[in-house]
């Protein structure tokens, strides 16, 4: 089982941010805050993408650095969209706006 992590600790309390995460099996994971790339993790080698996987979990608002796994941060998510495509590909076809 593989896990992906992109870290960024520059968020301030009581401040709104536009956060994007883009992931592909071959490219890796990229984290953007207010349109700027702030974190990434790339895979060293290219893998063949599987059609399905048993692991389909995504965690929002939970720290990966100590503490209890069930302990969540206090946050408000105003809008959440999930697309099957990378940020780069979706912006090239004008499906999403970036920058």
- At 23-73, the pLDDT tens digits run 887 788 889 999 899 998 887 655 555 555 565 666 676 665 655 666 666
Sign of CA dihedral 49, 53, 55, 60: positive
Cut 0.95: pTM above it: no
DSSP class of 89:
H
Report how far apart the first and last C-alpha atoms of the chain are (Å, whole number).
Answer: 34
Q: What is the pLDDT of residue 58?
A: 67
88, two tokens: 């780069």
Q: What is the pLDDT of residue 91?
A: 87
pLDDT at 22 over 80: yes
Q: What separation in angstroms does the CA of 47 have from each of 50, 64, 91, 94?
A: 9, 25, 24, 28
């Amino acid at each position: 089982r593989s896990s992906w992590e992109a870290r960024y600790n520059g968020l301030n309390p009581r401040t709104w941010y536009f956060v994007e995460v883009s992931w592909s099996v071959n490219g890796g994971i990229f984290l953007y805050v207010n349109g700027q790339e702030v974190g990434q993790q790339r895979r060293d080698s290219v893998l063949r993408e599987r059609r399905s996987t048993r692991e389909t979990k995504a965690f929002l608002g939970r720290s990966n650095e100590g503490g209890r796994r069930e302990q969540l941060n206090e946050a408000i998510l105003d809008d959440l969209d999930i697309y099957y495509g990378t940020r780069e590909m979706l912006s090239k076809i004008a499906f999403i706006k970036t920058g």
